[in-house]
Amino acid sequence: MVSRARKPAAKKSAKKTFSTRKSQVKGGLVIDTRRPRVLIVEARFYEDIADALFEGAKAVIEASDFDYDRIDVPGALELPAAIRFAMNRKGERAYDGYVALGCVIRGETSHYDVVVNESARGLQQLALEHQLAIGNGIITVENEEQAWDRARKDRQDKGGNAALACVAMIGLKQLFSA
């Protein structure tokens, strides 16, 4: 696992209303003065595609005025375990949400089905059992052309969509925790 540089935190003094680019939580939801922190976990098996997914996720997180850290894992099967390890972080450095990014391209064996199903099951299990805000940005495709279409920020932007889901789930968690 490789830790990457993160966006530096800017000081905020006032409370802020939560919103996303596509929706707004009604009812005057106010988040605390600590900027939410998200961990982006990338499966780097297809490095160029992972970078494209990250660009979309980063744009949404920065537009949401959240802090983030970025780490790497070898492949999609390792994403749930990395998030589970990161849950141990407490206090000011705890994560409010997680974005899992990766790409699985179908090959000639049934390994594709195992990776796709088990990585998705692991992320969903973590979200439900531990009440985590997780955006699942693992794209599952037949070929590299489909992967690029889904990964690029100017196309389907699945990395951005996963980050948007994470941001929205952080807001919902705060709404129901208040």
- Shortest CA distance to 105 belongs to which of 153, 161, 50, 28? 50
- Shortest CA distance to 40 belongs to which of 14, 12, 74, 79? 79
CA–CA separation, 24 and 107 (whole Å): 40
| Residues recognised as catalytic | 111
- Beta carbons within 8 Å of 72's beta carbon, 6+ residues apart: 1, 2, 4, 41, 42, 43, 44
CA–CA separation, 107 and 30 (whole Å): 47
Cα dist from 32 to 83, 95, 130, 169, 170, whole Å: 23, 14, 21, 16, 12
Cα pseudo-dihedral 162, 163, 167, 169, rounded to 10: 20
3 state SS of 52? helix
